[in-house]
A and B are shown apart, each in its own frame.
Chain A
């Protein structure tokens, strides 16, 4: 057995119920590494494309990577994948913290959940012992209460726990899975967990992750630490969190404002920045397993209308979703909204997008006060935001419609609502604007999980972060559509590897090189992989997810953006012009060796050994 892997995957059939242990195939590890890649292989092989995402037949795959649980900085992440109930296609969400490493310490690389428990239950993985426990008394409780009760019941203070809130129980399709390191937010995977009557997964392990070449691994980790500790991004993320980028992002027109209608709001951005948080409600920075950065925030509001909020603080995406998107510039309101979403188990990006969409419906007269239970949905209204989050969490009134995401909500509201429902393939757009970075347009349109910048992070390159080992040596003009396809493809393939190893992208941005990653893989697993092999592995993984989606009917017609992004806006900022998606897409398909409909050609499938 190579180092890094535990070579054991738990399979839990919740219907029977039955727990079994399986051995991952050596060939699959070599071809898909772990994490997102291995999860894609499992779901592609095992899932009938016709499966209803909320049926017992759907599977929820939890996967770590070969380096998870080692002391390499930034490798605390794990991936959850399934057929998404929100989009009906490939769904994945990642999270950091300690759960993934703990699963490795318990002796497992991952877990496949299938079936549906007859009654609410939770799973307890304690080294060799894997058991289902009654959760009827937990059903209806929020994630914070649930964590405290489970921890107390297990009498294991060091257990690591994944939990769904009431939103997941009630099958709101934007429900997330809450972890000790944040949330696995996107694609409604908390909904899948809720559909299986599974409230939580606790894990405790007493083992360790073996490393093939301890001495060289130790030296390389030391070198990476030294680089990261001297990188200003590390210092910035530690001091101000991801929202430390808010003002810079706003200055270049990257931050969506007022449901993507407005181009500039510097005063709002400043009040919603990580720097403002550090001056006001920040209690302490929080780190993940073996990471020197500590970009997570713990906040506390001691007085005023939101006194009592204490715990996970908002990141950049949440700050924009509940702040700039709604013209709310009060950081305490955003912290309160974030706290509600954590407790109910709701993805903040999808939630903020759905609420901003509703505010616009209200402004345009598509929804009346009567439709929204008397709430005043004027832009900037704090109280209505917080009430609407509760309504989504409780599936009450308009909240029941919004809880199924902005695409479904726009279809139900009808009229012209779909024109400003900001999603791709049913997944609400994250908080970076393709009108500020052209490559994001192509990345959003072709991301396998719907609108997502993390599947390419190509705007890093347009910001000037270069990857010479990938052949990306020059900063391209961010307003140009021409020539972007090659870079987006290279970055998507690279990120497919990043999500399979799995390394945090913030850590990656703080000084890691591709050579570092290859070295770590070799010293931990013993696999000696060339840069070209690495790149092909990424291409293989990306294409496999595309094939998963093709099988579900995804084609060129779905690789599109909301109309608002395609139309220049008269507003100031950078929204006066739009990306040429058609041009980029044609070049992209050609370079990917996909046909006109966006399906990988047979030769490409063969070349990638799929």
Chain B
């Protein structure tokens, strides 16, 4: 299946792209998409991964088709055609 990742703010600037198309074959977990597939893109690691835990940052803004993902992301799945919006949660402002 294919999902679309929309990057906002710093993430877009870090990658120089706003939108990614990603083919997912064996996995549909949101966590896997972020902690594994997206790390292949240069410049995103710092924004996505907490260096203290080596896992997805707890303060990442995530929306799946405009539905905001709250609390634990453990059980979140993505489906074919989903648009996953990601933005860093910056404390400023």
Is there contact, CB below 8 Å, between A295 and B92? yes
Is there contact, CB below 8 Å, between A251 and B63? yes
List CB contacts (< 8 Å) of A234-257 with chain B.
Answer: 235-237, 239-249, 251-252
Is there contact, CB below 8 Å, between A230 and B51? yes
| Stretch in contact with the other chain, from B5-13, B21-29, B31-39, B74-82 | B5-13
| Stretch in contact with the other chain, from A3-11, A24-32, A462-470, A530-538 | A462-470
> What class of interface size applies to chain A in its complex with B?
35 or more
Interface of A (DSSP majority class): helix
Is there contact, CB below 8 Å, between A477 and B90? no
The yes or no answer to B42 lying at the interface (CB within 8 A) is no
B45 nearest CB across to chain A (Å): 9
- In the bound complex, CA of A142 to CA of B91 (Å): 32
Closest to B8 in A: A247
Q: Which residues of A contact B63 (CB under 8 A)?
A: 251-252
Is there contact, CB below 8 Å, between A245 and B93? yes
Query: Taking A240-B10, A275-B13, A464-B60 as contacts, is the C-beta distance between A248 and B90 under 8 angstroms?
Result: yes
The yes or no answer to B40 lying at the interface (CB within 8 A) is no
List CB contacts (< 8 Å) of B34-93 with chain A.
Answer: 46-47, 51, 57-61, 63, 68, 70-71, 85, 87-93
- In the bound complex, CA of A384 to CA of B47 (Å): 40
- In the bound complex, CA of A477 to CA of B58 (Å): 12
Is there contact, CB below 8 Å, between B58 and A248? no
> What class of interface size applies to chain B in its complex with A?
20 to 34
The yes or no answer to A316 lying at the interface (CB within 8 A) is yes
- Picked from B12, B70, B92, the residue with its CB within 8 Å of the CB of A245 is B92
- In the bound complex, CA of A189 to CA of B91 (Å): 26
- In the bound complex, CA of A506 to CA of B12 (Å): 22
- In the bound complex, CA of A460 to CA of B57 (Å): 13
- In the bound complex, CA of A464 to CA of B56 (Å): 11
Closest to B18 in A: A270
- Picked from A239, A274, A477, A506, the residue with its CB within 8 Å of the CB of B71 is A477
Is there contact, CB below 8 Å, between B68 and A245? no
Q: Which residues of B contact A463 (CB under 8 A)?
A: 59, 61, 89
Is there contact, CB below 8 Å, between B90 and A466? no
Is there contact, CB below 8 Å, between B71 and A236? no
The yes or no answer to A233 lying at the interface (CB within 8 A) is yes
Is there contact, CB below 8 Å, between A245 and B9? yes
Is there contact, CB below 8 Å, between B9 and A273? yes
Is there contact, CB below 8 Å, between B71 and A244? no
- Picked from A230, A236, A315, the residue with its CB within 8 Å of the CB of B88 is A236
Query: Taking A245-B9, A247-B8 as contacts, is the C-beta distance between A315 and B89 under 8 angstroms?
Result: no
Query: Taking A251-B61, A466-B58 as contacts, is the C-beta distance between A236 and B89 under 8 angstroms?
Result: no
The yes or no answer to A283 lying at the interface (CB within 8 A) is no
- In the bound complex, CA of A251 to CA of B63 (Å): 8
- In the bound complex, CA of A54 to CA of B13 (Å): 48
Q: Which residues of A contact B93 (CB under 8 A)?
A: 242-243, 245-246, 249, 315-317, 431
The yes or no answer to A479 lying at the interface (CB within 8 A) is yes
Chain A positions 48 through 80: 1 when the CB is less than 8 Å from some CB of chain B, otherwise 0: 000000000000000000000000000000000
Closest to B57 in A: A464
The yes or no answer to A505 lying at the interface (CB within 8 A) is yes
Closest to A275 in B: B13
- Picked from B10, B58, B61, B70, the residue with its CB within 8 Å of the CB of A236 is B10
B51 nearest CB across to chain A (Å): 7
Is there contact, CB below 8 Å, between B91 and A460? yes
Is there contact, CB below 8 Å, between B89 and A248? yes
B4 nearest CB across to chain A (Å): 15
The yes or no answer to A418 lying at the interface (CB within 8 A) is no
List CB contacts (< 8 Å) of A485-515 with chain B.
Answer: 505-506, 508-510
20 contacts between A and B (CB under 8 A): A233-B90, A236-B9, A236-B10, A239-B10, A240-B10, A242-B90, A242-B92, A242-B93, A243-B93, A244-B90, A245-B92, A247-B87, A248-B88, A252-B61, A278-B13, A460-B59, A464-B58, A465-B89, A476-B71, A505-B91
The residues of B with any CB-CB pair to A shorter than 8 Å are 8-10, 12-13, 46-47, 51, 57-61, 63, 68, 70-71, 85, 87-93
Which 4 residue pairs are nearest across A and B when measured between Cβ atoms?
A: A316-B93, A509-B91, A248-B87, A242-B92
A244-B90, A248-B61, A508-B91 known; 18 new pairs, CB 8 Å cut-off, are A230-B51, A233-B88, A235-B46, A240-B13, A243-B93, A245-B90, A245-B92, A247-B8, A248-B90, A249-B93, A251-B61, A315-B92, A457-B91, A460-B59, A463-B61, A464-B58, A464-B89, A509-B91
